[in-house]
Amino acid sequence: MAKNISFDDYLAEQLKDPEFKAGFDAESAKLESAVALMSERERAGLTQRELAERADVPQSTIARIEHGQNTSFDTMSKIAFALGKKLKVEFT
C-alpha cells in the first residue's frame, strides 16, 4: 500500500536535489513578479490594456508578464513608472 505524504514534505525532499531547486527558485521568482505586477495593476484599478497604454507597451506584454513569462528590466521599469512606482531589484 502506498504511503501518503504531504505536499510540503514531498517538496522539501525534492528541493534537496540541486537541479530541481534551481528550477524551482527560477520559476518562483517569475511567479512573484507576475503576482506583484497583477496586484499593483489591480490596486491601481487598471485593465491590462489601460496599463499597457500608459507604459507604451503592447497589452500582450502585460499579459505575458502576468502569466509568469520573462521580460526585460527596461520593460518592467516602464510599467513601474506607468503605475507611479519605482522598480526595485533585490538580491536576498
> Could you tell me if residue 53 is inside a domain?
yes
Task: Look up residue 64 and give its three cell numbers.
Answer: 505575458
In our burial notation (b when 16+ CB lie closer than 10 A, e otherwise), range 33-55 reads: bbeebeebbeeeebebeebbebb
Q: What percent of the chain has pLDDT over 90?
A: 80
Chain segment 62-86, per-residue pLDDT in tens: 999 999 998 899 999 999 999 999 9
Query: How buried is residue 76: exposed, middle or buried, by Cβ count under 10 Å (0-12/13-18/19+)?
Result: middle
| 0.85 exceeded by pTM | no
> Could you tell me if residue 74 is inside a domain?
yes
> Could you tell me if residue 79 is inside a domain?
yes
pLDDT, position 41: 96
Domain range for 72 is: 49-85
Task: Give the C-alpha separation, 35 to 55, whole Å.
Answer: 18
> Could you tell me if residue 67 is inside a domain?
yes
Q: How many domains does the chain have?
A: 1
